[in-house]
Amino acid sequence: MDINYTEEDLNISPPWKFLDTEFLQKVVDLADDNALIALNVLYYSKDAKQKVFDNISAIKGVTKMAYFEPEESNNRVFLLSTSKDAENLSLLDYDVNTKTLESVIKNLGVSKGSWMKEMGMGDQVR
């Protein structure tokens, strides 16, 4: 999930309605038993950070959460797994994550060349 901010609140992205526990719970409930849900979040205060972590921690059905904060970016990436075998969940599984992203993007009708070059997704995953 990568949703931009709204003009009403420039301090959080995606808007709070997409980071609310109730909304995130619906996303997890729609997922199958072996899903990996990625959230790209930007926040600019300790209070917002705490609220995001509290909301995500309250979700039922998530077997593991991984969190990654790239050094040269304001992006924070959360990975939520619904897998019963999630103990090895890692953002460092570049090859697996890239193949998953390629599959999702292909299903959306975007060419691999476009998302790899124009969107820089390969570098983001790496």
Q: What pLDDT shows up at residue 8?
A: 75
Instruction: Name the H helices within 31-120.
Output: 46-57, 94-107, 112-113
* Count of other CB atoms within 10 angstroms of residue 121: 18
The secondary structure of 9-45 as a DSSP string is: BTTEES-GGGTSHHHHHHHHHHS-TT-EEEEEEEE-S
Cα–Cα distance between 29 and 43 in angstroms, integer? 25
3, two tokens: 């949703």
Q: Does 87 or 58 have the greater pLDDT score? A: 58
Give me the helix-helix angle, 21-30 and 46-57, nearest 10°.
40
Lateral strand order in the sheet of 36-43: 12-13, 36-43, 76-81, 64-68
* pTM, 2 dp: 0.68
Residue 63 predicted with pLDDT over 70: yes
Q: Does 21 or 8 have the greater pLDDT score? A: 21
